[in-house]
Amino acid sequence: MAQQPLHQESVSEKVVNPIEFFMKFTVENKYSPSVGDSRGEENEVEGQFVIPFEAFTRQNLARIRIFFETSSPDGTHGLSESEAFDLILFPRSWGTFGFGVTAHMTAETSKSLGTVAPGPAVGAVLKRGKWKYGLFNQNFLSHTFAETELQPILGYAFNPKWGAEIGDAQYTYDWKKDRFTLIPLSAQLNRILSRDKDHIHLFFRAQYNLKNESGSDMWTLTAGISLIPEQ
């Protein structure tokens, strides 16, 4: 009996996986009309670079995220923090598993010194038809900054052009405060534009934080664009 050809995933299926082995460059704008107990609003721009490469016969995925505050209730603006990870990937018939190292870096301000908090990262994404689901975990540990982030993954590709997912919803536990500081409800709509073998990913995400933490965003509205070159 002839074997059935393997299903070739569309870009709309791949973009819901944060540990997918493909290159993309993303810029997104996050607007928060209310921040904790403050009456002020906040706006942040994020740049993200995802670079796949091979090392020691294994697939690796590097990601760098840079956060830049353009406005905040206290009037500060500028580079606020950045994150980076390097994962070793293990693709399987059921999905992808990966583990590696991550780091969170904060910029030095007039009130505090900059910090570097490294730690382990691990993730698994399963696929079932056009569904993707899984979990991605990052841990940042230093003497001044200690957090665990859990990102649930759930997405569905309607067709090669449209998809929906939870998006970047980071359930955050602060070990210094000994409590959750971010418990988000999130939904994201994706649109893929293609020309030849290059793609553009447009997305919009709405997120609400169930945890009323002082200084944390309550509602966050995010619009972004990713450039996905020919793989």
pLDDT of residue 111: 59
Q: Rounded to whole angstroms, how far apart are CA atoms 69 and 43?
A: 6
Q: Rounded to whole angstroms, how far apart are CA atoms 192 and 113?
A: 41
φ, ψ of residue 95 to 5 degrees: the values are: 155, -140
pLDDT of residue 39: 61
Residue 218 contacts residue 193 (beta carbons within 8 Å): no
Query: Residue 17's closest CA among 52, 55, 57, 46?
Result: 52
Residue 4 above 60 pLDDT? no
Query: Residue 207's closest CA among 152, 156, 133?
Result: 152
Percent of the chain at pLDDT > 90 equals 73
Please give the span between the terminal C-alpha atoms of the chain, in angstroms, as a whole number. 32
Q: Please state whether the predicted TM-score (pTM) of the whole model is above 0.85.
A: yes
Q: Averaged over 51-73, what is the pLDDT?
A: 92
pLDDT of residue 1: 43
pLDDT of residue 78: 84
pLDDT of residue 72: 79
pLDDT digits (tens, 9 = 90+) for 141-175: 999 899 999 999 999 999 999 999 999 999 999 99
Give the CATH fold of the 11-228 domain. Answer: Porin (2.40.160)
Q: Averaged over 59-69, what is the pLDDT?
A: 96
pLDDT of residue 2: 42
pLDDT band at 33 (very low <50, low <70, confident <90, very high): confident
DSSP 168: S
pLDDT digits (tens, 9 = 90+) for 88-146: 999 999 999 999 999 999 876 555 667 899 999 999 999 998 999 999 999 999 998 99
Q: Averaged over 71-82, what is the pLDDT?
A: 81
pLDDT of residue 120: 98
Residue 53 above 60 pLDDT? yes
Domain ranges (residues) in the chain: 11-228
According to DSSP, the residues that pair with 97 across neighbouring strands are: 90, 124
Residue 114 contacts residue 82 (beta carbons within 8 Å): no
Q: Averaged over 217-224, what is the pLDDT?
A: 91
